[in-house]
Amino acid sequence: MSHRWTQIHTDSVIRVYRCPSVANKVYSLIIALCISSGCISNHGQVPNANSKPTHQDLVSIRDEMRAWVEADAIRRYAWDDASRLEDSYTHETLCRQLIASHGEFEHACAVTFSDCLRALETPTTLDESGLNRWAGVHRDVNRNQPKPDDAVWRRAHWVRDGEYWQQDVVWAGEAPRRGWNRADADGLWGWDPKLPGDFKGSIDDDGQRGWRGVHVGYPFRTADGCDCILWITPKEAYLECLTADGIRTGAGLWHRYEWTVKQD
């Protein structure tokens, strides 16, 4: 089914609205029924657990998660089993839980319930400057690692063939790896590899053709000037916010992290 899109550019955030129609309402109903029955999910059927994910693998996972959000039925699967459903959240229950977790940070931003709900119900994307506000060296200050595993979020560049902005994310420590975030007219999403031992995964994929590394993002800005993204993954959801003085917080359903960000 094709959709017409209207884009409104406001302060580096591009709001994306589906035109209301009976067809879209029927589509959402079908998606909701399929999610409840599991008919649209094939993530548990891994053709080759040792192969790296293809681009189409990642796109399929992205589209499935976006369908969860559109149907107001966001899924969370078990960390160690891509076929076992653990929980399902509505927009409201997810926002309330993530905002409560975010509020425990010392550097918490003024995220409101309406901020979070609006991000999910009227999805947005980012342009070049919106992505570049996240650019810099991100250092995790929570994990007490013997050696820093800094992530460098590079400045965005335009990919002409795909018509999207891409922000590469590079880890150059003892376990070099690379991920990315992309912003196009349909929204924000990305992929990052996992380290050995992270959720019993491997650095190349995790044996599930990208199922753990794909994330879809729902960005917004707060009244006190923070940039925030609500990230949905098949295993977890995070509310990440970046303050003007370079503190990045990540409040998840099960995990909480904090980073310092040294801008370019």
Three-state SS for 8?
A: strand
Q: What pLDDT shows up at residue 150?
A: 86
How far from 65 is each of 17, 28, 60, 217, 235, CA to CA, in Å?
18, 13, 9, 10, 11
Q: What pLDDT shows up at residue 141?
A: 81
pTM: 0.80
Q: What percent of the chain has pLDDT over 90?
A: 54
Extract the tokens encoding 11.
């302060």
Mean pLDDT, residues 67-84: 89
Range of the structural domain that residue 247 is part of: 1-264
Q: How many domains does the chain have?
A: 1
Mean pLDDT of the chain: 80
Residue 123: CB atoms within 10 Å: 22
